[in-house]
Amino acid sequence: MDGFRLPIGDWADTAVDWIRDNLGWLLTAISVGVSWLVDSLTDVLLNTPIVGIIVIAALLGWLVRSWQFALGTVVSFVLILGMGQWVTAMQTLALVLVAAVIAVAIAIPLGIQAARSDRFSAAIKPVLDLMQTMPGFVYLIPAIVFFSIGVVPGLVATVIFALPPGVRLTELGIRGVDSETVEAGHAFGATPGQILRGVQLPLAMPTIMTGVNQVIMLALSMAVIAGIAGADGLGKEVVQAMSTVDIAKGVEAGLSVVFLAVYLDRLTAALGNLRGQRSSLLSILARRRGQAAGQRRAAAVAAGPREAEVVAGSANDYRRAV
């Protein structure tokens, strides 16, 4: 057994070489597209007046949560500005937002499919486990091989690392929708697609928003790793501080990451709570409508064909509304 060895690493190396040699056009397209998205958003954030960004962030906090959160947002952003980390903070914010949007755009459809198919759910779970438990530094090796040094490998590694919670919580939210509420939609004759859009997704939105929150938090946690790959931002500042043992610079960059993380965490959590209140109301209304539909159908069967036509007409109206 001493000489026995599985060459899994060699197989992975061969696979990476094959992808680089045969899918170069796809890698180039991804690199150009991702770079354009991050650079464009960074330019927008840096060219917007600082006061304007602080006011917009505070207003969002006030609208979705409270004036105390808005005040804390102003203080946090002013501290970032005072520490001289505004430019790097906006670069990190652009990277995190783009990575989060890409991860959510992939995670929600996968989570919906996993909720609707037990076979697909069983097949994707080991992949998600691998993505979530693999050390983030490992993703940088093929990412740098594919995309060279810069923002793209850091963003790709961030998306891979942040994706699993979005898929899992989307599936959990849809599977957790009350079966009686779904049956109410069936009672009105709604199609599976209409039930998904009009019943399951709205009621699962609080759990989905929790997944979005976790995606953003994990994306921010990858800021330092993205900095190692050469991406500009607070992560690069932390890496430079580590290499030069610059305590002051490391503390300032680390605190800036914390301020961004707290703001985005509280903002997305508040949005999830708002969705949760609306979803509870939708669940109650749908259940009551389902009960009323069952009563009307029973009455129609007992009364005769004319009443049955009226009930069928109301079911058609419900399908068009959903």
Check pLDDT > 70 for residue 313. Answer: no
Close Cβ partners of 261 (under 8 Å, ≥ 6 residues apart):
217, 220
Angle in degrees, 0-180, between the axes of helices 234-244 and 86-116, rounded to the nearest 10: 120
Q: Which two tokens stand for residue 231?
A: 């991406």
- Phi, psi dihedrals of residue 7, rounded to the nearest 5°: -85, 55
Distance CA 224, CA 127 (A): 24
Spell out the alpha helix ranges (H) of 65-150. Answer: 67-82, 86-116, 118-133, 136-147
Angle in degrees, 0-180, between the axes of helices 247-303 and 67-82, rounded to the nearest 10: 150
CA 297 to chain centre: 42
For the chain, what is the mean pLDDT? 80
Structural element, H or E, at residue 174 = helix 151-175
Q: Which two tokens stand for residue 34?
A: 């991702």
> What are the domain boundaries of the chain?
8-47+83-187+212-264
Q: Which two tokens stand for residue 230?
A: 């050469």
Give the pLDDT score at 2: 57
What does the pLDDT look like over 193-217, one tens digit per residue? 778 888 888 888 888 888 888 898 8
Check pLDDT > 60 for residue 311. Answer: no
DSSP 8-state assignment for residue 65: T
Per CATH, domain 8-47+83-187+212-264 is 1.10.3720.10: yes
Give the pLDDT score at 3: 62
Pair 204, 177: CB distance under 8 Å: yes
Give the pLDDT score at 300: 47
- Give the closest residue to 196 by CA, choosing from 123, 104, 290, 115: 115
- Give the closest residue to 87 by CA, choosing from 56, 59, 50, 124: 50
Distance CA 290, CA 295 (A): 9
Burial 116-134, CB ≥16 within 10 A → b, else e: eeeeebeebeeebeebbee
What does the pLDDT look like over 216-265, one tens digit per residue? 888 888 877 888 887 888 888 888 888 888 888 888 888 998 899 889 88
Query: From its phi and psi, is residue 189 left (phi > 0), alpha (psi between -120 and 50) or beta?
Result: left
DSSP 8-state assignment for residue 84: T
Check pLDDT > 80 for residue 182. Answer: no
Pair 167, 111: CB distance under 8 Å: yes
